[in-house]
């Protein structure tokens, strides 16, 4: 076989190998970078979701405790002049137990610690005994409404007691009435917590002030003390937040937590990191499977172009060996087409991975947008602000907030609250231009950035948006939904940072709230006049 044929064959193989390795390296690097971005986004979103969830549940439990304390307080006031009347006392205890089913049992203890009566009747054998538990002694000595730590009751159950003192009109202490919640038996509290069990590996638990588990998805762990868990330590110190940790069972968790102030307890909602990563793995495999056909097409194109590359390179080598020939310059001129072929090869590789990049673009947009409203989130806001600053592009800011949004959630439920948020997002997009940016800043707080707009223009847009919401007829909501808005402006070389302008818009929004809500306040004029006033 001629030497020239061997050289051409080896060169073609080398080019093909280099092209294939470059393509695989690019695919692997892009895939890995996408995986890392999505992994971090999923972890942060899960932590935030668990924090919000724990906060809402802690608020619900706090409301429940407030309701049962009111029930006990009402009964204590009712019995203040009839505490020694066995008939009335038994009837009131029965009413407390049966009317709302808030307690597993209800009992009354006199000032000397004697159990006067108890309901249900199945516990009647306990009447007349001395209440010697730590919870009873604390209630007798403190003489104030209390929620006890878990203890083993005379009934044999692990329980907590919620008590209210009984005083006469002459301020004489008679004892207390108490409702108990058996931690290992069904009751209102267990139902409230049990309704929030996920099927994706997530679960929640409640820890008492002594680090003892009051509620857990595994009933066997109720009553167990977990003193070295960093999440429990944080929530029992009154902190609200989220944390990635390895729990007492050695499982890596993504936890959100919030305290219950009246009881000193803490709610923790958590999900195994492994379950979160399983979702990401499934997503990345799906992207890979959909991209493989295009990758195969791209690699085949690389193979064809590699074969074409060998011919002009061979012509270059032949021209180099015959520089003194008359047509040597023409041969080298032909080699110049090699650069065009190389560019074609590069485009073929890029075309082969265009589908993957589109997928990555979709994932990137998901990271930058709010999943509920489709508006940009804080990351998207930051990217846009950085871009506009680099371009020295002025803009106006409208900060807006739904008035009394908590009342909407409390009255109509969180699903209807979400519908209101999505409706407001739609109105914001309809009241803005393509070049503008609508952003959900968190909760019911939104921002609208108007590219190239001045303060008066933004104020008019804000007023139009406010009026649209005030007159909106949202299905299934029989009240007017209003918004308060703050307007500010940033322009290049103003000497004011974008962060300060954002704060000005927020202050204007706060001023709108202070002035009665459902109004527009501009940072440059209205806020200053309010401060002077």
* Residue found under tokens 């609508």: 438
Task: Map residue 440 onto helix, strand or coil.
Answer: strand
- Residue 217 token pair: 């998805």
Q: Are 512 and 404 in contact (CB under 8 A)?
A: no
The CB-side HSE value for 149 (13 A sphere, CA atoms) comes to 14
Q: Cα separation of 383 and 400, whole Å? A: 20
Q: Which helix (H) or strand (E) holds 209?
A: none
Q: Cα separation of 410 and 345, whole Å? A: 61
444 is a catalytic site residue: yes
**Distant-in-sequence, close-in-space partners of 260: CB < 8 Å, separation ≥ 6:** 58, 61, 62, 65, 206, 266, 267
Q: Are 219 and 206 in contact (CB under 8 A)?
A: no
**The CA-based dihedral angle spanning residues 157, 159, 162, 163, taken in that order and rounded to the nearest 10 degrees:** 50
Backbone torsions φ then ψ of 217, nearest 5 degrees:
-65, -25
What residues are paired with 213 via a beta bridge? 207
Task: Map residue 106 onto helix, strand or coil.
Answer: strand
Q: Which helix (H) or strand (E) holds 178?
A: strand 173-182
Q: The sheet that has 445-451: what strands, in order across it?
A: 437-442, 445-451, 395-402, 483-490, 520-522
In angstroms, the Cα distances linking 226 to 229, 249, 498 are: 6, 10, 46
Q: Are 267 and 57 in contact (CB under 8 A)?
A: yes
The CB-side HSE value for 353 (13 A sphere, CA atoms) comes to 20
Left, alpha or beta for 395 (phi > 0: left; psi -120 to 50: alpha)?
A: beta
Count the Cβ atoms, other than its own, within 10 Å of residue 394. Answer: 17
Distance of CA 137 to the CA centre of its chain: 42
Q: Where are the alpha helices (DSSP H) in 157-272?
A: 188-194, 230-236
Q: How many helices (H) and strands (E) does the chain have?
A: 15, 16
Q: Cα separation of 59 and 208, whole Å? A: 16
Catalytic pick among 62, 149, 444, 489: 444
Q: Cα separation of 95 and 118, whole Å? A: 12
In angstroms, the Cα distances linking 278 to 43, 76, 199, 201, 456 are: 12, 54, 14, 11, 51
* Residue found under tokens 């009447």: 127
Q: Which of 107, 168, 163, 108 is nearest to 139 (CA)?
A: 163
Q: Which residues are catalytic?
A: 444
């Amino acid at each position: 076989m001629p030497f020239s044929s061997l050289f051409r064959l080896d060169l073609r193989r080398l080019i093909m190998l280099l092209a294939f390795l470059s393509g695989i390296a690019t695919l692997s690097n892009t895939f890995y970078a996408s995986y890392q971005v999505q992994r971090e986004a999923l972890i942060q979103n899960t932590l935030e979701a668990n924090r919000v969830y724990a906060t809402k549940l802690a608020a619900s439990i706090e409301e429940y405790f407030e309701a049962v304390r009111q029930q006990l307080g009402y009964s204590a006031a009712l019995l203040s002049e009839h505490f020694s009347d066995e008939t009335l006392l038994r009837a009131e205890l029965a009413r407390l137990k049966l009317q709302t089913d808030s307690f597993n049992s209800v009992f009354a203890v006199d000032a000397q610690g004697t159990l006067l009566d108890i309901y249900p009747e199945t516990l009647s054998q306990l009447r007349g005994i001395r209440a010697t538990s730590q919870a009873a002694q604390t209630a007798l000595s403190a003489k104030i409404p209390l929620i006890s730590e878990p203890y083993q009751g005379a009934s044999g159950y692990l329980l907590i007691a919620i008590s209210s003192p009984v005083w006469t009109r002459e301020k004489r202490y008679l004892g207390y009435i108490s409702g108990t919640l058996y931690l290992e038996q069904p009751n209102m509290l267990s139902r409230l917590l049990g309704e929030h069990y996920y099927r994706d590996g997530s679960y929640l638990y409640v820890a008492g002030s002594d680090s003892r588990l009051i509620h857990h998805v595994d009933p066997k762990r109720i009553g167990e003390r977990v003193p070295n868990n960093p999440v429990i330590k944080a929530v029992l110190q009154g902190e609200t937040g989220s944390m990635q940790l390895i729990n007492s069972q050695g499982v890596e968790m993504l936890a959100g937590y919030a305290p219950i102030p009246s009881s000193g307890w803490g709610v923790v909602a958590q999900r195994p990191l492994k379950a979160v990563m399983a979702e990401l793995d499934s997503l990345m495999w799906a992207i890979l499977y959909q991209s493989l056909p295009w990758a195969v097409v791209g690699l085949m194109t690389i193979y064809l172009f590699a074969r074409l590359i060998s011919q002009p390179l061979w012509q270059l080598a032949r021209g180099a060996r015959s520089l003194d020939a008359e047509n040597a310059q023409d041969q080298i001129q032909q080699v110049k087409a090699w650069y065009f072929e190389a560019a074609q090869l590069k485009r073929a590789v890029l075309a082969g991975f265009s589908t993957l990049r589109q997928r990555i673009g979709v994932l990137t947009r998901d990271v930058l947008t709010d999943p509920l409203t489709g508006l940009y989130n804080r990351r998207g806001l930051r990217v846009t602000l950085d871009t506009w600053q680099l371009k020295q592009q002025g803009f106006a800011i409208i900060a807006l907030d739904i008035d009394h949004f908590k009342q909407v959630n409390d009255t109509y439920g969180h699903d209807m609250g979400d519908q209101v948020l999505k409706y407001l997002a739609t109105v914001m997009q309809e009241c803005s231009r393509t070049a503008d940016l609508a952003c959900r800043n968190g909760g019911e707080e939104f921002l609208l950035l108007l590219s190239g707009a001045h303060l008066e223009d933004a104020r008019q847009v804000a007023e139009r948006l406010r009026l649209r919401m005030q007159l909106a007829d949202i299905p299934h909501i029989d009240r007017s939904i209003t918004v308060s808005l703050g307007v500010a402006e940033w322009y290049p070389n103003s000497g004011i940072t974008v962060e300060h302008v954002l704060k000005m818009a927020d202050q204007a929004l706060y001023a709108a709230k202070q002035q009665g809500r459902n109004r527009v306040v501009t940072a440059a004029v209205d806020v200053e006049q309010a401060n002077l006033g």
